[in-house]
């Protein structure tokens, strides 16, 4: 789509979105931060959906186009002008005619460049703002002059929070926690430590047992608030970082008068987004941890630490693609990832030119050369691993979106016929790229 046409469409969609919000006046939950927005959005939706009529952003609709599309309830038109025309017509109909509109909108808002969130804050006025995490080297950092500028961009929505709105902050992240002093709104914090208003305890990995031994099936933890607690079980996913979306969802629910037991029950139906540490049955009775949606330094570190903790594996294999949009931090971030990988897996396979620095970091930290494999593309890596993987291996697959690491998963999953249900980026538009 030409940039001039795109700008016109963005302006039209935002104008329609503003009119629709003014007409129907839904409660708005905005979620921002560098890590965990989509998972947090989905968890909040699960926590509220049993009690309210709720709409959430589809997939990762978090841009200046994606947010209005969610408000309109429309799909991404990609490069199809007819779909964009249909979207604009639907928005117009919502403005002029009466419709059964959601009580709540759960909107993911991303900072993919300077000024994007600040521009949205001119017309988007949240009732609840959730800020997730940044990490030492946030994703999209190459588009900003500094980490501080990116954090300031994400915090722009604080100023547009309604007067009686609620600010919900991840207190485990120092930069997020600092926003508490920049707002006069009611604030609820969440985290893994007791100093947070809503916090988690008793985290553990759940395992099943078969004739060959144990294998991971999910995670369990308790959510605690004001002396009350309730268990949360998330099946089919791994990683302590899945605690954070559940805690954010609990904080949102509590702010709206739901009790913690209600929230815990609602989260039983919560399914984490595809490609985010999902457990998939692999070939030859192996286990695949599919984290192929995207990658950033903080998320990769957590994924590798999760792999390190897994019990019952014959071998632990990490298949890691490039991390993009890191700018001048790219080399150091990839080498640091390699250092962590050297302590977390028996075999490391890297994909792409930037990931060579992951390999170098692993070798510099004692990993043997024969245990470090390098590939140019995800297809090459998948074809090799299909023959290499053995019974009881646990394989972590992760990389930035454009590395298409889901193609590795497709090659080593036990049921590739189900890829459209289990893997990310299976739409026709992605297949044609």
pLDDT at 111: 75
Rounded to an integer, what distance in angstroms lies between the CA atom of residue 379 and that of residue 412? 11
What is the radius of gyration, based on Cα positions, of the chain? 22
Say yes or no to pLDDT of 86 above 90.
Answer: yes
Sheet bearing 287-291, strands edge to edge: 278-281, 287-291, 394-398, 316-321, 347-351, 372-375
Looking at domain 278-431, which of 3.90.1210.10, 1.10.10.410, 3.50.50.60, 3.90.190.20 is its CATH number? 3.90.190.20
Share of the chain above pLDDT 90, in %: 83
Rounded to an integer, what distance in angstroms lies between the CA atom of residue 328 and that of residue 333? 9
The residue ranges of every structural domain in the chain are 3-267, 278-431
Q: What is the tens place of the pLDDT at every residue in 319-347? A: 999 999 999 999 999 999 999 999 999 99
pLDDT at 137: 74
Q: Give the residue among 384, 377, 295, 376 at the shortest CA–CA distance from 341.
A: 295
Rounded to an integer, what distance in angstroms lies between the CA atom of residue 371 and that of residue 30? 44
Report residue 281's pLDDT band, with 50, 70 and 90 as the boundaries: very high
Least confident of 83-87, 196-200, 349-353, 355-359: 83-87
Mean pLDDT (whole number) for 39-49: 96
Say yes or no to pLDDT of 117 above 80.
Answer: yes
Rounded to an integer, what distance in angstroms lies between the CA atom of residue 218 and that of residue 223? 16
Say yes or no to pLDDT of 1 above 80.
Answer: no
Share of the chain above pLDDT 70, in %: 99
Rounded to an integer, what distance in angstroms lies between the CA atom of residue 289 and that of residue 280? 6
Determine the angle formed by the axes of helices 243-255 and 37-49, rounding to 10 degrees. Answer: 40
Report residue 177's pLDDT band, with 50, 70 and 90 as the boundaries: very high
Inter-CA distances, 254 with 28, 60, 103, 201, 421, Å: 16, 25, 17, 18, 33
Mean pLDDT (whole number) for 39-51: 96
Rounded to an integer, what distance in angstroms lies between the CA atom of residue 237 and that of residue 217? 7
Report residue 2's pLDDT band, with 50, 70 and 90 as the boundaries: low
Mean pLDDT (whole number) for 12-32: 97
Task: Name the residue with higher pLDDT: 61 or 308.
Answer: 308
CATH dotted code for 3-267: 3.40.1190.10
pLDDT at 79: 78
Mean pLDDT (whole number) for 392-401: 98
Rounded to an integer, what distance in angstroms lies between the CA atom of residue 107 and that of residue 310? 34
Say yes or no to pLDDT of 221 above 70.
Answer: yes
pTM above 0.75, yes or no: yes
Mean pLDDT (whole number) for 278-302: 97
Q: What is the tens place of the pLDDT at every residue in 340-380? A: 999 999 999 999 999 999 999 999 999 999 999 999 999 99
């Amino acid at each position: 789509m030409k940039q001039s046409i795109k700008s016109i469409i963005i302006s039209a969609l935002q104008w329609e979105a503003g009119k629709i919000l003014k007409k129907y006046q839904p409660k708005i939950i905005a979620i921002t931060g560098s890590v965990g927005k989509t998972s947090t959005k989905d968890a909040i939706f699960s926590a509220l959906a049993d009690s309210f009529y709720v709409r959430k952003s589809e997939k990762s609709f978090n841009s200046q186009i994606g947010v209005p599309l969610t408000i309109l309830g429309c799909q991404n038109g990609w490069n199809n002008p007819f779909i964009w025309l249909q979207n604009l017509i639907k928005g117009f109909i919502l403005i002029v005619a009466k419709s059964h509109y959601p009580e709540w909108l759960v909107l993911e808002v991303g900072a993919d460049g300077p000024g994007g969130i600040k521009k949205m804050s001119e017309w988007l006025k949240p009732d609840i703002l959730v800020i997730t995490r940044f990490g030492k080297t946030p994703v999209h950092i190459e588009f900003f002059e500094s980490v501080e500028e990116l954090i300031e961009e994400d915090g722009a929505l604080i100023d547009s929070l309604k007067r009686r709105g609620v600010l919900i902050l991840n207190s485990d992240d120092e930069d997020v926690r600092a926003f508490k002093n920049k707002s006069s709104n009611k604030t609820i914090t969440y985290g893994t430590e007791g100093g947070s208003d809503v916090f988690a305890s008793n985290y553990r990995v759940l395992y099943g047992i078969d004739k060959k031994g144990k294998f991971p099936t999910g995670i369990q933890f308790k959510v605690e608030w004001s002396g009350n607690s309730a268990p949360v079980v998330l099946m089919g996913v791994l990683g302590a970082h899945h605690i954070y979306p559940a805690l954010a969802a609990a904080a949102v629910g509590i702010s709206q008068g739901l009790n913690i037991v209600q929230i815990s029950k609602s989260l039983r139906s919560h399914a984490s987004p595809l490609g985010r540490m999902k457990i998939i049955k692999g070939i030859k009775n192996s286990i695949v941890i599919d984290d192929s949606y995207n990658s950033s330094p903080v998320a990769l570190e957590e994924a590798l630490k999760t792999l390190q903790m897994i019990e019952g594996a014959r071998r632990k294999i990490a298949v890691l693609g490039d991390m993009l949009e890191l700018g001048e931090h790219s080399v150091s971030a990839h080498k640091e990832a390699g250092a962590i990988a050297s302590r977390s897996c028996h075999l490391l396979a890297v994909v792409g030119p930037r990931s060579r620095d992951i390999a170098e970091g692993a070798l510099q930290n004692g990993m043997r050369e024969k245990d470090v494999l390098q590939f140019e593309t995800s297809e090459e890596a998948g074809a090799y691993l299909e023959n290499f993987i053995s019974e009881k291996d646990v394989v972590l697959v992760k990389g930035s979106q454009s590395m298409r690491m889901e193609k590795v998963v497709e090659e080593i999953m036990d049921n590739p016929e189900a890829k459209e249900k289990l893997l990310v980026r299976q739409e026709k538009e992605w297949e044609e790229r």
